Every structure is written in structure tokens, then in C-alpha cells.
A and B are shown apart, each in its own frame.
Chain A
Amino acid sequence: MSSKVSRRQFLSYTLMGVGGFMASAMLMPMVRFAVDPVLQPKGEGEFIPTPQKADDLTETPVRVDFTIKDRKDAWYKSDVSNTAWVYKEGDTIIALSPVCKHLGCTVNWEGDEKHKNEFFCPCHNGRYEKNGKNIPGTPPLGPLDEFMVEVVDGYVNLGKTVPNTLV
């Protein structure tokens, strides 16, 4: 008798099996929806690799060009080229945004022969100290923004810009 399955047993197993499938079919998507935010890849705050080696940096700011690949602006995808002025202060790497705080021109390191050791904006002779501090008496009203910096495998990676923390 023990090797035989009775009609009653067979029916209850079948019902449990089918019921279990149905329950899991309902519950699985719910669980997936609940944990979904954790599984999302982070879009913002990403670091973008640059061709600049961290060891090659000195105390003199150098221009580092990098490209944000496939930036999505609504449905429009594009590569955006970006630039930073990068130098070393002791052991920390500092990356400044080249966008002038006056009207958005591009500033250059020692762009004017008369003012060494400063960032210079060619539009209206705006000047900044090496740490990005705007020099009073010139048009800019605030210090240059900073990029978030990370070193990955010896190369400088740059994140989003934040207000200057050095001044």
C-alpha cells in the first residue's frame, strides 16, 4: 500500500503544486519591484576616466581633456568634450573647472604674460589664483568650480563639479 499513491493524496499534491506556481507567479514580480531601486545602475555622480596619469602631475596645472560618452539629453545622445585644469597640492589632486564665473568663457593657466601663476580669462581680463579664488577688482564674482577627483589604476578620473572647497 505504501508505494501506492491514493487518489486523495494525488489530488492534494497536484493542487499544492499548481497553487504554489500561481502564488509565486504573483509574488515574484512584486518582490522584484520592491528591490528594484537597489538594482538600478547609478547614472549620476559617475567618474569619467581621463588620459592623465596621476603620477605625472606636478604643482603646475595642466590641461586635461576628457569626453563624456553617450550623454543623454532627452532622446538625444551625444559625446560631450570637457576640460579641466589639474595639479597636485602635496598629495591631493585638485581639478578645477575652466569655466569663468563671470559669463562662462574658458580660462587659461598663465594665459596672460603679465600675470604669472594665475588663471586668466581672455574675455574681460578676469583673474583667479591657483586655487581658483577670484582676484578682487576683476569681473568674476566667485571662485572656479572644482571637479570631484578619483584615481583609478593610476589614471585621474573626474566626477561632477562642486563649488570650490579650497577658498
Chain B
Amino acid sequence: MNWTGKDMDIYLLQKEYIDTLVIPLVKVETKMDNMKTSASSTEFVMLLASLIETQFKGRMMFAPPFSYTSSTDLQSMADTTLQDFSDTTFKHVFFLTTDHAWLSQKMPGQVIWLPSIPLESMDAPLRQSILEDQLRQVLPKFTEGWSAL
């Protein structure tokens, strides 16, 4: 499910089945040297998120991506903004990111970190197969989280 009006209607009717919220966290770099990497990893996270969404449409709700810049204090963002998600009706909250800094924070949910892969120069079939490989990598983390509770 995406964070759209139509999907939200389905969620409100099917709350007991759609029990997982996934929040992409993207770092927006403002320094010229890092802007390219930041854009490329944002693209990667969002494409991967949309692939996971089509596979697990009936169980996962995807929030709009949360973005921050290099001066953001990650721990205080985790304690305020992201903390709000722990009070929702979702049983499982996952954060999807390529920024490893999140791994060392105390988070109100499980962080799924994976290294960014620059996809922009690949043709469509290769990109698709790379994304599917990545999906297979992260899948056990989701199922682990589901069976933990």
C-alpha cells in the first residue's frame, strides 16, 4: 500500500492484515561533492521501496520518505518525529535506508540498512534484476521481524 487516499481506504478496512509500516529515510546532501551520491542513493531506496510495495502490497504500508540533511541530529529526529510512528496501529515498523548512521541510533522500530547501488547508468532489465537481488537480501529481515512478535 502506498500513502495515497485510495490505498488508505483499503487499509482502514483491512487493518488486521496490513500490520506493517515501512518508512524510507533519505539523506539529502547539500554539499556539491556529495549531491550526486545522495541523489543516486535516494533513487535506489525509492525504487527498492516500490518493488517491495508491489510484492507485499497486502501487508505493508509505505509512508512517504522522510528526508534530512547533514546537520540533522539523528537521535533527536528518532526521538521526536519517528517516535510518533510507534503509537500507530501498525504492529511492525521498519525503516529502510542506505545511511548506516541510523544503525547506531536508538530507534522506535527496526532499521533495515543496505548499501546503495548506483542504478542510473544501467538499462532496465539489469536494474530490475539487481533490485530483485536486493529484495531477496532484505526479505529475511522483514520475515524475521514478523515472526518475532
Query: B-contacting residues of A (Cβ < 8 Å)?
Result: 65, 67, 79, 81, 100, 102-106, 121-124, 139
Contacts and interface: CB of A to CB of B under 8 A. Distances in A.
A64 to B, nearest CB: 13
Given A81-B128, A100-B58, A122-B55, 17 more contacts: A65-B128, A102-B17, A102-B58, A103-B10, A103-B14, A103-B58, A103-B59, A104-B58, A105-B56, A105-B57, A105-B58, A106-B54, A106-B55, A106-B56, A121-B58, A123-B57, A123-B59
A126 B55 CA distance: 13
Interface string B11-50: 0001001100000000000000000000000000000000
Interface string B46-87: 000000001111110000000000000000000000000000
Of listed A103, A105, A106, A124, residue having the most chain B CB within 10 A: A103
A123 B128 contact: no
B14 A105 contact: no
A122 B56 contact: yes
Contact of B17 (A79, A81, A139): A139
A124 B58 contact: yes
A156 to B, nearest CB: 18
Contacts of A106: 54-57
Contacts of A104: 57-58
B19 to A, nearest CB: 10
Interface of B: 10, 14, 17-18, 54-59, 124, 128, 143
Contacts of A139: 17
Nearest to B128: A81
Nearest to B139: A122
Nearest to A107: B55
A106 B10 CA distance: 17
Contacts of B59: 103, 105, 123-124
B17 A105 contact: no
A49 to B, nearest CB: 15
Nearest to B143: A122
Contact of A123 (B10, B58, B124): B58
Nearest to A106: B55
17 contacts: A79-B124, A81-B128, A102-B17, A103-B17, A103-B18, A105-B56, A105-B57, A105-B58, A106-B54, A106-B55, A106-B57, A122-B55, A122-B143, A123-B17, A123-B56, A123-B57, A124-B17
A121 B143 CA distance: 13
Contacts of B14: 103
B132 to A, nearest CB: 10
B29 to A, nearest CB: 29
A153 to B, nearest CB: 21
B56 to A, nearest CB: 6
B88 to A, nearest CB: 19
A121 B57 CA distance: 11
B58 to A, nearest CB: 3
